[in-house]
């Protein structure tokens, strides 16, 4: 069962949807959404138009066990299926239906990697860019869909933003910081409030954070017996062309150009995405 909470103004306006805990161990979304709902319930925050739907926990079984997932990565299989093959596929069916009914989707995540909060601006349309400028983080990564297109069938990414974009919605994914950091909840909270303000659901000013864009160019999946070359990497650490990225049994995998470490997932399981690499846009 997925619990949803919808607040509707008497005045017409956009319908904004917020997702938390697509990955069950990412608690900043549920916490931030609970905080904003409390403000709406008490009347401290009031919708002047449109509606907002909050889904604090999109993957309840994984959330109950503090796990990223139970059977499949919900943010790689996010599309409707007639006969869902897993628990996450069942959740995807329910959640895709919610996306169909909204105009805007913000998907809230956290990570194991250290580093500044950032956004995935997977579809840099005019409206998504304008929203990204006021969301809060000072960095955004572009190029994820293009990278997965390059992988072809070997690694697919049916994710929340891809689905929402395919249905004509505005959509961003925000990475708020490390899973257990208290600051991540603050970043998520600000992103929700700034989104409500940007779409004029609440009467508040927004601020342009002028986010710097980085383009993702490579992605690596964990193999047995390999290790990331530097266990202290943070998201957006700079690496020179030719520097080791992954130590293997044979030659190390090296940086193809001067660039950035993107989202090192030190706890990735074998076969899962492990490290991304990118450059300035
Ligand atoms: Zn996540």
Tell me, in angstroms, the distance from the centre of ligand 1 to residue 96's CA. Answer: 17
Residues 114 and 60 in one domain: yes
Question: How many angstroms does the Cα of residue 264 sit away from the middle of ligand 1?
Answer: 13
Output the CA 12–ligand 1 centroid distance in Å: 32
The number of distinct structural domains making up the chain is: 2
Expressed in angstroms and rounded, the spacing between residue 1 Cα and the centre of ligand 1 is: 20
Q: Cα-atom radius of gyration of the chain, to the nearest Å?
A: 19
Q: How confident is the model at residue 1 (pLDDT cuts 50, 70, 90)?
A: confident
Q: Could you tell me which residues are beta bridge partners of residue 6?
A: 53
CA of 30 from ligand 1 middle (Å) equals 13
Q: What is the mean pLDDT of residues 152-180?
A: 95
Structural domain contains residue 204: no
Minimal CA–CA distance to 28: which of 196, 179, 171? 179
pLDDT in tens, 137-157: 999 999 999 999 999 988 999
The alpha carbon of 75 and the centre of ligand 1 are apart by a number of angstroms equal to 8
The per-residue pLDDT for 259 is 95
Encode pLDDT of 209-253 as tens digits: 999 999 999 999 999 999 999 999 999 999 999 999 999 999 999
Task: Please state the pTM of the whole predicted model.
Answer: 0.95
> Of 198, 228, 253, which marks where a domain is finished?
198
Paired strand residues for 278? 216, 260
Tell whether 270 and 167 lie within a shared domain. no
Between the CA of 110 and the centroid of ligand 1 the distance, in Å, is: 6
Residues whose CB is less than 8 angstroms from the CB of residue 218 and which lie 6 or more positions away in sequence, other chains included: 147, 256, 276, 277, 278
Domain that holds residue 268: 217-280
* Same-domain check for residues 53 and 149: yes
Residue closest to 6 by CA, chosen among 46, 37, 42, 38: 37
* Torsion sign, CA atoms 158, 160, 163, 165: negative
């Amino acid at each position: 069962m997925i619990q949803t909470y919808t607040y509707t103004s008497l005045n017409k306006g956009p319908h904004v949807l917020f997702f938390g805990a697509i990955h069950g161990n990412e608690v900043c979304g549920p916490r931030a959404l609970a905080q904003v709902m409390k403000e709406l319930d008490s009347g401290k925050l009031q919708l002047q138009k449109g509606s907002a739907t909050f889904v604090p926990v999109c993957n309840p079984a994984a959330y109950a066990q503090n796990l990223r997932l139970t059977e499949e990565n919900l943010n790689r299989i996010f599309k409707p299926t007639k006969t869902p093959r897993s628990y996450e596929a069942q959740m995807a069916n329910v959640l895709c239906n919610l996306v169909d009914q909204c105009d805007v989707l913000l998907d809230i995540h956290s990570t194991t990697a250290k580093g500044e909060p950032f956004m995935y601006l997977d579809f840099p349309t005019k409206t998504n860019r304008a929203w990204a400028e006021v969301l809060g983080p000072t960095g955004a990564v572009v190029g994820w869909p293009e990278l997965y297109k390059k992988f072809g069938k070997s690694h697919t990414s049916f994710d929340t933003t891809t689905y929402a974009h395919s249905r004509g919605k505005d959509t961003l994914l925000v990475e708020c910081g490390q899973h257990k950091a208290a600051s991540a909840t603050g970043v998520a909270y600000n992103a929700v409030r700034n989104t409500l303000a940007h779409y004029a659901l609440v009467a508040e000013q927004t601020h342009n954070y002028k986010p710097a864009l980085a383009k993702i160019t490579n992605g690596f999946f964990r193999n047995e017996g390999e290790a990331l070359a530097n266990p202290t990497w943070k998201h957006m650490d700079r690496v020179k062309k030719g520097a080791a990225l992954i130590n293997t049994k044979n030659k190390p995998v090296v940086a193809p150009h001067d660039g950035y470490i993107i989202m090192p997932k030190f706890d990735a399981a074998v076969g899962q995405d492990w490290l991304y690499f990118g450059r300035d846009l």
